[in-house]
Chains A and B, each alone.
Chain A
Amino acid sequence: AQTVTQSQPEMSVQEAETVTLSCTYDTSESNYYLFWYKQPPSRQMILVIRQEAYKQQNATENRFSVNFQKAAKSFSLKISDSQLGDTAMYFCAFMNLQGAQKLVFGQGTRLTINP
């Protein structure tokens, strides 16, 4: 079974700073996706970024980028020029592409951006 671990329950940074959220996972599969989802306070979960395991290039979406280290089974999220609207719970998630496409989530990191 796959497991996803987020070791930082809470983080706090000042607006405009760069912040990195950590995620490690454990799997014996070779064909999978990794995701970061964001859940703002009292709002719904939305996709931030996705990484296909077969791609060596790290995914980037505007101010959000990942550092995907496949051998180390590490998948961190970097948020550049952080904004107040980035305040949210962030979840790292794993999807095995063999069989049912279900997500396995980490415990979450509560990120607060301070003005």
Chain B
Amino acid sequence: DVKVTQSSRYLVKRTGEKVFLECVQDMDHENMFWYRQDPGLGLRLIYFSYDVKMKEKGDIPEGYSVSREKKERFSLILESASTNQTSMYLCASSLTTGRSGANVLTFGAGSRLTVL
């Protein structure tokens, strides 16, 4: 089974701190995604990447950046955390179209971030 591992399950940070959320997948998936989950809003896409060093903005990229230096790792960075970034963050990965099993996202367990 594909595994998507998020490095921290729970984090508590102070306003203004730089925050790194790490995500690693172990099945050679090309696509990786960062979503934010808030009650009543579902999941909203922050950034995604379809290849190493490639990134695309999602629907709510403001206040976030990402890094993908290796195929298996996709990092979400909050340059200066704010209280409105308190949320659950979900990482996901998938194969690119054309490959068997493509188009199905596999999710990590989530990282619950609280910014005080």
Residues in chain A within 8 A of chain B (CB atoms): 4, 6, 9, 33, 35, 37, 43-47, 50, 91, 95, 97, 100-108
Known: A9-B40, A44-B109, A97-B97. A102 touches B104 (CB 8 A): no
Q: Beyond the given A44-B110, A97-B103, A105-B44, could you list 16 further A-B residue pairs with CB under 8 A, ordered by the A residue number?
A: A9-B40, A35-B104, A43-B109, A44-B109, A45-B90, A45-B107, A100-B56, A101-B96, A101-B102, A102-B33, A103-B43, A104-B45, A105-B42, A106-B42, A107-B41, A108-B42
Query: Does A91 contact B107, Cβ atoms closer than 8 Å?
Result: no
B105 within 8 Å of A by Cβ?
Answer: yes
| A101/B43 in contact, CB under 8 A | no
CB pair A102 B58 closer than 8 Å: yes
B residues near A, CB below 8 A?
31, 33, 35, 40-45, 48, 50, 56, 58, 90, 92, 94, 96-97, 102-105, 107-110
The CA-CA distance from A106 to B44 in the complex, in Å, is: 9
Say how far A1's CB is from chain B's closest CB, in angstroms: 8
The reply to whether A101 and B42 contact each other, CB–CB distance below 8 Å, is: no
Residue numbers in A under 8 Å from B97 (CB-CB): 97, 101
Separation of A10 and B110 alpha carbons in the complex (Å): 22
**Chain A contacts of B50 at CB under 8 A?**
100
Q: Which residues of B contact A45 (CB under 8 A)?
A: 90, 92, 107
Given contacts A45-B90, A100-B56, A102-B48, contact A33 B40 (CB under 8 A): no
